[in-house]
Amino acid sequence: MNEQVPNRFYSPRSAAGSGGAGPAASGPVELNAQALQALAHLRNDFISPRMLCGLWRLGEAVLIFLVGTLVWVLRADPAPDGAVTWLAAALAGSLVASAILASAHAYELAFLRRSGLRLWRIAAGLGLSFGFVAAGLAFLRPSGLDGVSILAWYLSSLALIVAARLILGVNLRRWARNGRMERRALIVGGGKNAETLIRGLELQPGNDIRICGIFDDRDDRRSPPLVAGYPKLGTIAELVEFARRTRIDMLIVTLPLSAEERLLTLMKQLWVLPLDIRLAAHAGELKFRPRTYSYVGAVPLIDVVDRPLADWDGIAKRCLDIVAASVAIVLLSPVMIAAAVAVRLDSPGPVIFRQKRHGFNNQAVEIFKFRSLHHAMSDPEARQIVTKNDKRVTRVGAFIRKSSIDELPQLFNVLRGDLSLVGPRPHAIHAKSSRDETFTEIVDGYFGRHKVKPGITGWAQIHGWRGEIDEPEKLIKRFEYDLYYIENWSLLLDLYVLAMTPISLLRTKAAY
């Protein structure tokens, strides 16, 4: 397996820390008054359009199955020997109906908003689905089967789905008006290209993209402060800070493809954000294969970067975290109790050590560990990295650090949602290498590892990249393995990392 994926948007730095790391490396960026005002108007109680469409599809499939089951139960003389066949038919009917309606684009947001005008497509799709099921049942001939049951199933399902969709359509239009149902986008680059893009988006029926502002490094002479009614809110550095303070779904870059050098510079600054990045293709003369584009109505966009762990992937990973962390807490509770007692008896001070670390999207999170250093020397800001034979480490601390038992309280961070079980390890906010270099001075684009939640264990850790960072190469390797994990995530990969973690703990050479 190729365990390292080259990324054209970052590069390791020299030991002297040459080059710029983009806006994130230079410390917090202050937003101007106009950007702060725009932030204040963006609601946090949002509904993701893609999530809602997916949940609606699942809900209708469950509804069709339940209606089919209810029809069987309410029959005057249901035959017990046909129950299994009928329930299997109900399940098949729900899945076939979901697939046919999806192929008819019935679960797209534009369709759901205007479903009152297209209900014939729902009726036809359900009719085709139930026709397939009826044909299958006629072939199997379960006892007690009659056409009235199938017709009742079809009409009941259709009535409930139509009523629910009419109610949903009204709510979708209301949510769109009050800002709860939208994909939020920021425009990168102003001027004529941005105006053309905005006008094109405004003409698309059912467009769910809300433009929240424009960011551009160019001055007002080259990039007007107002484009098509939308204000320029700041520079690219301020865009990164803006996107970390509120929910933003997409960045749309309006620079022409011919500006290759400037585009590459922008991407090195922007790819660290956990967002979809699209390049406006309406003004480009180059034509690509159709699969290269995504569309908003008829407006073409080139997909440059996709947000990792979006929508259902994020839900699946969160479910794994909750279930596995809960089981681990129960199974490992004797170990944690013993560790807590040992820490308490070994040296004075609290059992739990709390430390601020970089979390998802570079936000600060407080993580828990068993205290392994003398309390007076605990160094919560990690100004001084722990080294081999460090006198600050207690006797019990040396053991629990080497065995990683000190990390077990972070299972509660997982339940709180601060961490995931698997992900890039969170580093302390002010952490430095043993050469007194900040991590952004070693790796250009270091904050790109924060596009997903950090984890208790990770792809880099099971490959031996843990412990002291006394050479730049060690952080670079961790970073490359973290990027591989982010770009190749799957539930199977998470399960593999979890399975390999106990084995990797046997390699304790760099852990102290």
pLDDT in tens, 88-129: 888 888 999 999 998 888 888 878 877 665 788 899 999 999
What pLDDT is stored for residue 252 in this prediction?
93
Mean pLDDT rounded to a whole number for the chain = 82
Q: Do the strands 276-280 and 352-358 form a parallel or antiparallel pair, or are they unpaired?
A: unpaired
Mean pLDDT of 64-69: 92
By the 8 A CB rule, do 463 and 481 touch? yes
Q: Lowest mean pLDDT: which of 61-70, 75-84, 478-487?
A: 75-84
Q: Which two tokens stand for residue 284?
A: 């480009």
Give residue 13's pLDDT band: very low, low, confident or very high (50, 70, 90): low
| 451 or 287, greater pLDDT | 451
pLDDT in tens, 471-480: 778 888 888 9
Is 60 exceeded by the pLDDT of residue 59? yes
What pLDDT is stored for residue 85 in this prediction?
75
What pLDDT is stored for residue 19 in this prediction?
39
What pLDDT is stored for residue 459 in this prediction?
93
| 269 or 7, greater pLDDT | 269
Domains of the chain: 31-46+182-305 (3.40.50.720), 49-178 (no CATH), 312-504 (no CATH)
Give residue 24's pLDDT band: very low, low, confident or very high (50, 70, 90): very low
C-alpha 478/C-alpha 92 separation (Å) is: 47
What pLDDT is stored for residue 86 in this prediction?
77
Is 90 exceeded by the pLDDT of residue 492? yes
Is 80 exceeded by the pLDDT of residue 468? no
Mean pLDDT of 275-281: 88
Closest CA to 90 of 144, 153, 145: 153
By the 8 A CB rule, do 268 and 20 touch? no
What pLDDT is stored for residue 376 in this prediction?
81
Give residue 10's pLDDT band: very low, low, confident or very high (50, 70, 90): low
What pLDDT is stored for residue 289 in this prediction?
59
What pLDDT is stored for residue 18 in this prediction?
38
Give residue 15's pLDDT band: very low, low, confident or very high (50, 70, 90): very low
Number of residues in the chain: 512
C-alpha 477/C-alpha 271 separation (Å) is: 19
Among 239-248, 384-393, 430-439, name the most confident range: 239-248
By the 8 A CB rule, do 46 and 263 touch? no
- Please enumerate, as own/partner, the contacts of 11-20 that have beta carbons within 8 Å and a separation of 24 or more: 11/444, 11/445, 12/442, 12/443, 12/444, 12/472, 12/476, 12/479, 13/441, 13/442, 13/443, 13/444, 13/472, 15/435, 15/437, 15/442, 15/472, 17/437, 17/441, 17/442, 19/444, 20/444
pLDDT in tens, 322-380: 999 999 999 999 999 999 999 999 989 899 999 888 899 888 899 999 998 988 887 77
Is 60 exceeded by the pLDDT of residue 17? no
Mean pLDDT of 312-320: 89
Is 60 exceeded by the pLDDT of residue 40? yes
Is 80 exceeded by the pLDDT of residue 481? yes
Q: Which two tokens stand for residue 200?
A: 């094109």
Is 80 exceeded by the pLDDT of residue 288? no
Give residue 39's pLDDT band: very low, low, confident or very high (50, 70, 90): confident
- Please enumerate, as own/partner, the contacts of 410-415 that have beta carbons within 8 Å and a separation of 24 or more: 410/367, 410/368, 410/369, 410/456, 411/325, 411/328, 411/329, 411/332, 411/456, 412/329, 412/368, 413/365, 413/367, 413/368, 413/456, 414/321, 414/322, 414/325, 414/456, 415/322, 415/325, 415/326, 415/329
pLDDT in tens, 415-465: 999 999 999 988 887 776 656 667 776 777 788 888 999 999 999 989 888
Mean pLDDT of 269-274: 87
Q: Name residue, tokens 């026709």.
A: 131
What pLDDT is stored for residue 421 in this prediction?
95
Is 90 exceeded by the pLDDT of residue 414? yes
Is 80 exceeded by the pLDDT of residue 172? yes
Mean pLDDT of 289-296: 67
What pLDDT is stored for residue 9 in this prediction?
63
C-alpha 308/C-alpha 143 separation (Å) is: 50
What pLDDT is stored for residue 453 in this prediction?
93
C-alpha 142/C-alpha 163 separation (Å) is: 32
What pLDDT is stored for residue 422 in this prediction?
96
What pLDDT is stored for residue 497 in this prediction?
95
What pLDDT is stored for residue 97 in this prediction?
92
What's the pTM? 0.77
DSSP state of 434: T
Mean pLDDT of 226-232: 90
Tally of CB atoms within 10 A around 337: 10
What pLDDT is stored for residue 25 in this prediction?
46
What pLDDT is stored for residue 5 in this prediction?
44
By the 8 A CB rule, do 453 and 420 touch? yes
Mean pLDDT of 211-236: 89
Give residue 141's pLDDT band: very low, low, confident or very high (50, 70, 90): low
Is 90 exceeded by the pLDDT of residue 321? yes
